[in-house]
Structure 1
Amino acid sequence: MSMRFTTILLIAIICLGGLQTAVEMDPSSPATVFLIPCSEYYTTHEPISIDSDQDFVDNGFSGNGSLNSPYIIEGLNITSSIFMGSAISVRDTYAHFVIRDCYILSAYIGILVVDAASGTGSIENNTCLSSSGDGGGISVGMDNCTISRNRCMNWGQGIHLNDASRCLISSNNISDSTYQGINIRYSDNNTISGNRILNSSQHGLLFVGTSSFNVAYNNTFIENGNVAMYNIDGERTGNLISQGYDEGSNNVWHDIETETGNLWSDYSGNGSYAIDGPANNVDLYPIKYQPFQDNSDTIITIILIASISALAVILVLIGYRRLNK
């Protein structure tokens, strides 16, 4: 077998292996499959601590910190085993920045952003895994932040917002949280949409404290609430009946314009969906989750993509062999 033929064969195998990350559909759909990228695809890096705009420069990250050319932290494989530590932390900055496409394994916090200037931060398409089942996957305390298309698995809380306003939390996949899926604390006017929240020990999404005027819609809640009683901050307890919790004010669990609610795996299909907590809130337009139909659609999609890719590889190899006869 010639060297050129061997090279083409290796490329074909890599292309087929790329299916692991290629099949990622709309997270707003319960049919979504999130496949975890292999850590080998990333560049190994030590934990990152940014405490000023100059730290972006000193660490050699691309960009200049402007709106059109933000500093970019991307493509890194970071492991942190420090208690109360984080794999990536950004504090007290004014420059624009993006954290994207990173693979994180941490014992306490995956990505931490605190006291950055309003509207300067974006956290996109990261895989955050917990090695302890504690802490938070993505923890944010800044205004106008975008948190989208991330995967957070096995944390105490998948995404944690504290004293943050006008943030967008969208199209994330949160699974196997040992406490809660998405925790919105003392935060106002945030939008939570298109997220898939699966198998949290307690609630999938909750609004805590004085959180107000937040909107949650088109999220998919699957089998959250695997305990009989909820416990909020060790102070407020009650029977866990719903996958959502609300103790704030004027929070809305549907899109007002389209009258679109959320998908709930325990919704009976009749009437509104009650939300736990003293706010006595409801999802006025809940959607019944249909797991069996969605799973079959997902399997068909994966098989179709794999078949087309395999056929393309075979045709390339046949054509190459004919040209070299």
Structure 2
Amino acid sequence: NVVHGTVMNCIIDQRYIGIIMQYSNNCTLRNNTASSNYYGFFISSSDICTLTNNTASSNDYGIYMYASNGGTLINNTLANNGMVIEGWSVSHWLHNESGNTVNSKSLGYFKSLPSTTIDGALYGQIIMANCSDVTVNDGVFTDVSRGLQLGFCTNCTLNNNAASSNSHGGFFLTISEDCTLKGNTASSNSDAGFILSDISNCTLADNTANNNLGRGFILEDLSCCTLTDNTASCNIGIGFFLLGISNCTLADNTAINNLGRGFYIEESISCVLINNTASSNIDSGFNLIQTLDFTLTHNTANSNNYGFSLSTTNCTLTNNIASSNSVSGFALVVRQNLTLTDNTATSNEYGFYFATSHNATVTNNTAYNNTRDGFFLTHSENCTLTYNTAFNNSRYGVYLWTGAWYNTLYLNRFGNNVVSNGRDDGSWNIWDDGVSSGNYWMDYNGTGVYPIPGNAGSVDNYPFGWGPVTTTTTTTTSDVDIIMMILILSSVGIAIVVVVIVILKKRKT
């Protein structure tokens, strides 16, 4: 709360804050040196202040300006740190600047700049405020507080820039729209590689975040944005962290070898994930929490802890693959209205694990070679499982455990599971359609009903022996049918070859 104050000729090091100016106006900092602090110069909620001929070196933040208006920065030297601007109003980003350097290059501070292409290689750090139609190419920003910052910008492009070894992130964008980030790399930063907040209609394509000490990508409060062909690898935290996003599309992105989750999405609505890959992440490959109206198609999760871990409402999963995850391929806590179609879970502990899931429609999915169960349901009700296949799982093909109520299963195929093909310890579950069709059991002897092992005392009233199942949407024999028929005939010898040749010829015709 100082007005017209001056601080000059001070040397401050190894403190949390070197020099702080807060709630003060028309003040001046001149000829001061701040080194090896967390904040070198901390300016907060202070207007029309001047920083001249100061030196900030080896701080986490060299000069930090927060929610301050109309500042003047002249001939300041920043070494092994940089300048950071934050604030919720465009006026907080607009200052007067000249003659400042970052790591012996000019500080690239651009405000209200229209229709320009900037050679990023000329600058030690770039800050863009209220710019439009500006492109930054080929910058290399190393050992500054944040490599490249945008605030209140429209239709700007960051292309082929690199930010590494910065203390608080590689790329930072806030309150901007219609911007494009393409071919940029953020590596070995002490915080996240890319940080975007309050962004709309932006595109991130072919960017890479690797070996950052925080998350690869942090994306908060985004709407109508597209992420395509980006890679997050070997980051200490989550590969892609998305919070509060809506109407966004993630396509062909890869999260690999991160020490957290691959893709983490929370409190978000109406998004599409297609052809993304999560591999060898320490936690989940794909983790959705409190999301609504999501569609996941043709995504792959392999060698994570969980493949797909979802706590969501109104979610559709189609043609996704979960393999070699140490716990579950699909771990599903879905409050209402889950649709799973044509997904595959193999070589996980559990293939499909449903907990407190209600009104799920599970059709034509395949679970095989899992070390426990193909399909496991607990505290889940009113789910319908049809045309699914579970084989070669080390415990049960399908297991309805405690709290699995009022679920319906028919026209599924269960075979060659080690303990038994099915078990029901739930209540009031139905194992046929009530008319003429039950499930296909490899161990059915062809006579009478098929009793389901377990405490529920359930029966399949209309069981079938194992055989191909024709759905209403296809008339061709599936690859799973071929595999299972080979398994059935494994003791016949040469007959296997004959059967396979006949089936493949039929498929071609």
Please say whether Structure 1 and Structure 2 have the same fold, judged by a TM-score greater than 0.5.
Answer: yes
CA distance in 2, matches of 1:43, 1:137: 24
Taking the TM superposition and a 5 Å limit, the aligned residue runs for 1:6-45 are: 45=231
Are residues 1:147 and 2:349 paired? no
Are residues 1:127 and 2:321 paired? yes
Query: Cα deviation per residue 1:110-165 (whole Å; 9 max; x = unaligned)?
Result: 11111x23x2x11110121115xx31111111121011101110111100100011
Distance 1:60 1:281, change over 3 A: closer
Structure ranking higher in strand proportion:
2
Are residues 1:159 and 2:375 paired? no
Give the partner amino acid of 1:112.
Answer: S
Give the partner amino acid of 2:431.
Answer: W
CA distance in 2, matches of 1:207, 1:148: 20
Give the partner amino acid of 1:284.
Answer: N
* Contact persistence 1:188–1:211 (CA under 8 A): yes
Structure ranking higher in helix proportion:
1
* Contact persistence 1:105–1:129 (CA under 8 A): yes
Higher relative contact order (CA 8 A, sep 6+): 1
Q: How many residues were matched structurally? A: 235
Are residues 1:104 and 2:298 paired? no
Q: Bigger radius of gyration, 1 or 2?
A: 2
Give the partner amino acid of 1:108.
Answer: N
Query: Cα deviation per residue 1:263-283 (whole Å; 9 max; x = unaligned)?
Result: 011111011111111111111
Shift of 1:102: 1.4
* Contact persistence 1:80–1:86 (CA under 8 A): no
CA distance in 2, matches of 1:157, 1:150: 14
CA distance in 2, matches of 1:245, 1:304: 35
Distance 1:51 1:102, change over 3 A: same
CA distance in 2, matches of 1:60, 1:157: 27
CA distance in 2, matches of 1:164, 1:209: 13
* Contact persistence 2:246–2:270 (CA under 8 A): no
Distance 1:127 1:299, change over 3 A: farther
Aligned to 2:280: 80
CA distance in 1, matches of 2:241, 2:273: 11
Taking the TM superposition and a 5 Å limit, the aligned residue runs for 1:1-325 are: 45-46=231-232, 52-54=243-245, 57=248, 70-82=270-282, 85-94=283-292, 96-114=293-311, 116-117=312-313, 119=314, 121-130=315-324, 134-142=326-334, 143-224=336-417, 226=418, 240=419, 242-256=420-434, 258-290=435-467, 291=485, 299-303=501-505
SS in 1 for 2:396: coil
* Contact persistence 1:45–1:77 (CA under 8 A): no
- What's the TM-score, normalizing by structure 1? 0.65
Distance 1:111 1:49, change over 3 A: farther
SS in 1 for 2:245: helix
CA distance in 1, matches of 2:299, 2:501: 27
* Contact persistence 1:48–1:89 (CA under 8 A): no
CA distance in 2, matches of 1:255, 1:48: 44
Query: Cα deviation per residue 1:293-317 (whole Å; 9 max; x = unaligned)?
Result: 99877644534556x7xxxxxxxxx
* Contact persistence 2:272–2:296 (CA under 8 A): yes
CA distance in 2, matches of 1:252, 1:264: 16
CA distance in 1, matches of 2:250, 2:449: 52
SS in 2 for 1:144: strand
Query: Cα deviation per residue 1:181-222 (whole Å; 9 max; x = unaligned)?
Result: 100111000001100111111111111112111000000011
Shift of 1:51: 6.0
Shift of 1:45: 4.4
SS in 1 for 2:337: coil
Structure 2: runs of 5 or more not aligned: 1-227, 233-237, 253-268, 468-484, 490-495
* Contact persistence 2:317–2:341 (CA under 8 A): yes
CA distance in 2, matches of 1:173, 1:187: 20
Shift of 1:53: 3.7
Distance 1:103 1:48, change over 3 A: same
Query: Cα deviation per residue 1:229-275 (whole Å; 9 max; x = unaligned)?
Result: xxxxxxxxxxx4x411111111000112x421000111110111111
CA distance in 2, matches of 1:198, 1:247: 20
Shift of 1:54: 1.5
Structure 1: runs of 5 or more not aligned: 1-41, 63-68, 227-239, 309-325
Give the partner amino acid of 2:291.
Answer: T
SS in 2 for 1:266: coil
What is the aligned-residue RMSD (CA, Å)? Answer: 2.8
- What's the TM-score, normalizing by structure 2? 0.43
